[in-house]
Structure 1
Amino acid sequence: MAVNLEFENKLWEMADKLRGNIQPSDYKSVILGLIFLKYISDSFEDKYNELVAEGEGFEEDRDAYLADNVFFVPPSARWEFIKKNAKQVTIGQIIDDAMIAIERENRNLRGVLPKNYARPELDKTKLGELIDLFSFNLGSKESKAQDILGRVYEYFLGKFGSSEGEFYTPPSIVKLLVGMIEPYKGRVYDPCCGSGGMFVQSQRFVEEHQGRKDDIHIFGQEYTATTWRLCKMNLAI
């Protein structure tokens, strides 16, 4: 398995929580949305604690986060609040409201985040138990350096496949392709962009070669709406 994340052993437990409740091909949609929420919340919390330590009262100042390319996460969308309410029967709606709040605060995410956790077929007890499994920190520098969403997406496609014929290009192949095209500047186009791995790897290539990210422009197409949203989420973080 190409995925080598410190929380990989948790992914199977997460899938197991959803077993018998929804279709296996839908596991990734539920879990990826929560991982995104956890990721931006952990990143926000790290910056929040840093601002508190500085003692200048900027910990609730949106611009202080924007300056460091960190999403501002409103109180009702922070992971601490989500986890505190994990056992509530309204947890699905709480998560949907959190996604809406994040989109409201961050314009480039509007219409992108999943907001279907309140749907009847998603068992709320299992959803709460799923949230309890998120004991790992995704805001660390190590996590930020990885294509987190793309690699989790790869994991679930590999384990459970998809009824829509989706396939994931292994990171090693993507890295090889990027190394061949050497995107120092210009346009990068991926006609089947999936979770955006080609774009993430291109950005990494530029950074590793001391280039400027502003010198490349990315363009992509994706047939599946859910995967397109995942790509937007992946690029956002």
Structure 2
Amino acid sequence: MAKLSQAELERHLWGAADILRGTVDAGDYKQYIFGLLFYKRLCDVWDEEFEALLAETGDREEAADPDEHRFHIPKEHRWEAVREQSTLIGQRLNNALAAIEDANLRLRGVFGDVDFANQDRFSDALLEKLLSHFEKHRLRNADVPADMLGDAYLYLIKMFAEGAGKKGGEFYTPRSIVRLMVEIIDPRPGMSVYDPTCGSGGMLLEAVQYLKDRGEDARTLSLYGQEKNFATWGIAEINLFLHNVDDAFIAKGDTILSPKRYDPKAREFVEGIGAYDRVLANPPFSEKVWGYEVWQNGDPFGRDTYGCPPKGYGDLAFVQHMLASLKDVGMLAVVVPHGVLFRGGAEGRIREAMLAADVVEAVVGLAPNLFYGAGIPAALLVCRKKKPAERRGKVLMVNGDATYKPGKAQNFLADEHVRRLAEAVHAFADVEKLARVVPVEEIAANGHNLNISRYVQTGADAEAVDVAAEVSKLQDLIAKRNEAEAVMFGHLKRLGYVG
């Protein structure tokens, strides 16, 4: 069977989405495509492992032994068994996915609540067409290596995010921004990395890729995360599994109201705050319902060190959770809306307390329209509990509003932009029209305002407007319009259309 190129694989998988488009709601069909893709991959890899073991041992029973495989698929629920039936296909699929979850603790819950037996959505004819499409190409490791399939899966996530608009941002952060964040926090072999709002797991995987690109052992990383949306949690688990990342632990639940940490002795998640070397996240912007009613009486987990955020803006609750989750020598990077940098009230008091504690190391302003469904510019907040001696009492302000490449639907960061911004953070030095090291005393004198353009202006700043000249131009245009109207009404009067 001919091997697929990366582009061919991506077209093949996106073709499956085309089959469902119009039949299943756009916001839902990604779950079905991801579920079927994962099911096909599991079955194909199981067959591949079975054939290799059979060739080695000559014993079919031993080759089918669950202990000999990375995962177990009951015989009656393998792909070829489901394909033997031409009616009630959806129910057979449901049974197969449930049986795989039951047989593999690691895969428990990954298929979510997809229901292929819903006849209003999935007729046998439609499912036959969909399964036939997936059968066009084998998805064994020999045909499609893990990195290749993982990248194709990320491509699908990106495509679904683009189609979902604002909602797409709930489970996908553009990869260039993730890469920038990982470059900034610079995870090292043996470290623990944590994403408290992990979405589809892209940030954790980028940390793995970062070490791979440097020729370092990514398997020594310990990866942890939490995700509130159950369906998105399943996407993350599949994403990690397809990338052959087995040592990642993703909890389900609300990070602010019910934070989870992994207990290695009990081999399960328990309520509480962990301690990690590197923390990174893109929390929901200005969450309205985030847990204010609980925090206003004191956070039960003690994360409100710098204060309680306002009722309608949960951004700094996530930031404080991340700070509480850091080891003393740890480092974090978090995406925040610009309002967090300058809004007053409770947020102003929290900023003041954070600056007084000297935990803010850098603020990196990003260009507008980089995120799905959010045209407003955002910023990265970089924090440490204990900053290096030479950086204490200072905050690096980086203005990246001119550092981007324009796109049709949205802007993006090219490799050179990621490199330039990351290098600016690491250098922690003044760079004309890009970065400036600002003493905390100066920020305090400005009312603890972290608005980046207050400290660093770039070539993208608007030129000063000559108001008198612009008013003169406007008056000239109004005069010309009035003159044209007088001529037009003169013609209409002669023709008898007006009195």
**TM-score bucket (shorter structure):** 0.7 to 0.9
Match of 1:102 in 2: 100
Distance 1:140 1:170, change over 3 A: farther
Is this contact kept in 2: 1:196–1:234, CA < 8 A? yes
The secondary structure found in structure 2 opposite 1:50 is: helix
Is this contact kept in 2: 1:21–1:121, CA < 8 A? no
Deviation at 1:128, TM superposition (A): 1.7
After TM superposition, list the pairs within 5 Å mapping 1:124-203 onto structure 2: 124=123, 125-134=125-134, 135-140=136-141, 142-146=144-148, 147=150, 148-161=152-165, 166=170, 168-183=172-187, 184-203=189-208
Q: How many Å separate the matches in 2 of 1:201 and 1:38? A: 25
Query: Deviation digits for residues 37-76 of structure 1, max 9, x if unmatched?
Result: 01111111111111111134221111111xxxx2222223
Greater displacement, 35-44 / 122-131: 122-131
Query: Deviation digits for residues 87-134 of structure 1, max 9, x if unmatched?
Result: x23111111111111112111222232341112332222122111101
Distance 1:75 1:216, change over 3 A: same
Distance 1:164 1:201, change over 3 A: closer
Q: How many Å separate the matches in 2 of 1:194 and 1:172? A: 16
Deviation at 1:36, TM superposition (A): 0.5
After TM superposition, list the pairs within 5 Å mapping 1:40-119 onto structure 2: 40-57=42-59, 58-65=62-69, 70-85=70-85, 88-114=86-112, 115-119=114-118
Is this contact kept in 1: 2:192–2:223, CA < 8 A? yes
Q: How many Å separate the matches in 2 of 1:104 and 1:32? A: 19
Deviation at 1:12, TM superposition (A): 4.1
Q: How many Å separate the matches in 2 of 1:164 and 1:205? A: 24
Match of 1:13 in 2: 15
The secondary structure found in structure 2 opposite 1:121 is: coil
Q: How many Å separate the matches in 2 of 1:8 and 1:189? A: 29
Is this contact kept in 2: 1:62–1:72, CA < 8 A? yes
Letter of the structure 2 residue corresponding to residue 94 of structure 1: R
Is this contact kept in 2: 1:103–1:109, CA < 8 A? yes
Q: What percent of counterpart residues are identical? A: 34
Q: TM-score, normalised by structure 1?
A: 0.83
Deviation at 1:196, TM superposition (A): 0.8
Q: How many Å separate the matches in 1 of 2:48 and 2:33? A: 22
Is this contact kept in 2: 1:25–1:160, CA < 8 A? yes
1:210 paired to 2:216: yes
Q: How many Å separate the matches in 2 of 1:161 and 1:140? A: 33
Q: How many Å separate the matches in 2 of 1:96 and 1:193? A: 27
Q: How many Å separate the matches in 1 of 2:19 and 2:165? A: 18
How many pairs does the alignment contain?
227
Q: How many Å separate the matches in 2 of 1:7 and 1:94? A: 26
For structure 1, the residue ranges without an aligned partner over 5 or more in a row are none
1:27 paired to 2:29: yes
The secondary structure found in structure 2 opposite 1:25 is: coil
Letter of the structure 2 residue corresponding to residue 126 of structure 1: L
The secondary structure found in structure 2 opposite 1:112 is: coil
Structure possessing the higher relative contact order (Cα contacts under 8 Å, 6 or more residues apart):
1
Query: Deviation digits for residues 4-32 of structure 1, max 9, x if unmatched?
Result: 54322234432232233221121211111
Letter of the structure 2 residue corresponding to residue 139 of structure 1: R
Larger strand share, 1 or 2: 2
Q: How many Å separate the matches in 2 of 1:233 and 1:53? A: 29
Q: How many Å separate the matches in 1 of 2:33 and 2:8? A: 16
Is this contact kept in 2: 1:150–1:196, CA < 8 A? no
Q: How many Å separate the matches in 2 of 1:109 and 1:167? A: 20
Query: RMSD over aligned Cα, in angstroms?
Result: 2.4
* Of 18, 25, 36, the match for 2:38: 36
Is this contact kept in 2: 1:32–1:153, CA < 8 A? no
Query: Deviation digits for residues 187-225 of structure 1, max 9, x if unmatched?
Result: 212233111122223233445533262x43222232322
Letter of the structure 2 residue corresponding to residue 136 of structure 1: H
Match of 2:321 in 1: none
Match of 2:342 in 1: none
